[in-house]
């Protein structure tokens, strides 16, 4: 008997898979390997072919084609959860027939006043946290949806589809999800990540991204005799921060607006370090942002000779430039959603996905909704109906792909 997508999801979130950005191992935590082993067995149990996990923790499996002339499609989700919030000991709270009122959890509340999208799910079953951990819908919902959809196709051989490849990746939350992804081995013509938010989301544009780490060397002397001698590294850091546009920060931007985000500031009189991430959709303004931070450091080094160093590195790029030549895969996703009664919400990703990097590695890969809200924290929740619609959408994409004449242009 087939498991429901919610049963799968509730099983998966019990397995802790927090990634660790300070780890040097691949994957970054052993927990992800344990979950990967579990998923290999899940794939085998539902009848997927050649299910395996490689030494880097990437799980792959195949659903053979019923229509050999159809393109090979990939569906991808990530196994790890964000290190931003506790991800072990998850105790989900299930709200049947949500009535539109505030949901009270341990120490916090999910209120429609603060989270108005809750009003869209009155009457639905919601899965929330207990208020002390994240939930893990990012992205164990995507995993549950992909496996439920492939199991449905196995049990309904009358539905035509090409070869389907699935992959579950480690360490997406720390930006390493595509580091060791073997695109050639995966062998898909194109793919979709199931890593989006609310129902209907369809994304093929994302930020260009860079990281800037500014190191400041100060000169510490006794404050009583410091005149014209002391160079306070922490104060120099505040001077640098004040020179960046005050309205171009995450809390004051939206849509296609880029930003500078001060992630951390650690320091004292002797030394200080500022870590920024730089984000922009447009390649020209992205370059301008990087140039600005370089110029600020150069000018401050004139004022404080050789006190400041800058480490600036690109992280990922906007996949729109790669998807532009194969928009039929975006149209396919739109058609599948509409056929399932879902209104597509085409919008840019104010972040990045494995799909962005994979698109630059030769695998065009837009992002689709998984159904969750408020990722990475204790306010996270997911409507069961959204997961069920995601399963329906995956099945329909597989079916409709039989009519797609895909010519890979990357």
DSSP 83-98: TTS--SS---EEESS-
- Degrees (nearest 5) of the Cα angle 272, 275, 281? 155
Residue with tokens 């996990």: 53
Distance CA 261, CA 247 (A): 11
Active-site hit among 172, 173, 205, 248: 172
Please confirm, yes or no, whether 80 is among the known catalytic residues. Answer: yes
In sign, the C-alpha dihedral spanning 7, 145, 350, 353 is positive
For the chain, the distance separating the N- and C-terminal CA atoms, rounded to the nearest angstrom, is 41
For residue 300, give both structure tokens.
């401050």
Radius of gyration of the chain (CA): 23
Please confirm, yes or no, whether 172 is among the known catalytic residues. Answer: yes
* Cβ neighbours for 22, distance < 8 A, ≥ 6 positions apart: none
CB atoms within 10 A of CB 62: 18
Where on the phi/psi map is residue 180: left (φ > 0), alpha (ψ -120 to 50), or beta? alpha
DSSP 218-241: -B---GGG-TTT-B-HHHHHHHHH
Residue from 384, 373, 404, 394 nearest 77 by CA: 394
Residue burial 309-336, b: 16+ Cβ < 10 Å; e: rest: ebebeebbbbbbebbeebebbbebbebb
Local structure of residue 246 (DSSP, 8 states)? T
Active-site hit among 42, 80, 280, 388: 80
Element containing residue 357 per DSSP (H, E): helix 354-360
For residue 191, give both structure tokens.
């793919």
Q: Which residues are catalytic?
A: 80, 172
């Amino acid at each position: 008997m087939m498991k429901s997508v919610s049963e799968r999801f509730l099983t998966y979130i019990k397995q802790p898979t927090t990634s660790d950005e300070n780890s040097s191992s691949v994957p970054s935590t052993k927990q992800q390997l344990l979950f990967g082993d579990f998923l290999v067995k899940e794939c085998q149990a539902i009848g997927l072919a050649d299910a395996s996990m490689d030494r880097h923790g990437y799980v792959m499996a195949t659903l053979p084609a019923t229509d050999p002339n159809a393109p090979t499609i990939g569906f991808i989700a990530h196994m790890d959860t964000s290190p931003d919030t506790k991800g072990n000991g998850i105790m989900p709270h299930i709200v049947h027939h949500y009535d539109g009122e505030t949901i009270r959890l341990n120490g916090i509340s999910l209120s429609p006043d603060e989270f108005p999208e809750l009003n869209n799910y009155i009457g639905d079953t919601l899965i929330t946290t207990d208020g002390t951990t994240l939930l893990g819908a990012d992205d164990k919902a995507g995993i549950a949806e992909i496996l439920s959809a492939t199991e449905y196709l196995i049990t309904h051989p009358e539905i035509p589809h090409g070869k389907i490849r699935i992959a579950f990746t480690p360490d997406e939350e720390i930006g390493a999800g595509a580091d060791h992804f073997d695109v050639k081995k995966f062998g898909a013509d194109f793919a979709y990540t199931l890593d989006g938010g609310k129902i209907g989301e369809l994304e093929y544009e994302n930020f260009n991204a860079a990281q800037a780490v500014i190191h400041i060397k100060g000169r510490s002397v006794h404050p009583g005799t410091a005149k014209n001698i002391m160079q306070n590294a922490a104060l120099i850091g505040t001077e640098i921060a004040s020179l960046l546009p005050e309205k171009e920060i995450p809390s004051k931007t939206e849509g296609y607006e880029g930003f500078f985000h001060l992630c951390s500031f650690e320091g004292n009189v002797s030394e200080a370090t500022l870590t920024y991430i730089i984000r922009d959709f447009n390649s020209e303004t992205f370059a301008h942002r990087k140039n600005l931070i370089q110029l600020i450091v150069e000018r401050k080094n004139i004022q404080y000779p050789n006190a400041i160093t800058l480490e600036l590195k690109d992280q990922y790029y906007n996949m729109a430039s790669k998807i532009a030549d194969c928009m039929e895969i975006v149209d396919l996703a739109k058609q599948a959603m509409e056929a399932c009664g879902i209104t597509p919400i085409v919008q840019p990703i104010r972040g990045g996905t494995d799909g962005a990097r994979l698109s630059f590695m030769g695998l065009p890969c837009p992002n689709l909704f998984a159904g969750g809200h408020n990722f990475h924290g204790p306010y996270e929740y997911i409507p069961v109906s959204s997961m069920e619609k995601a399963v329906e959408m995956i099945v329909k994409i597989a079916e409709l792909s039989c009519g797609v004449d895909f010519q890979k242009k990357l």
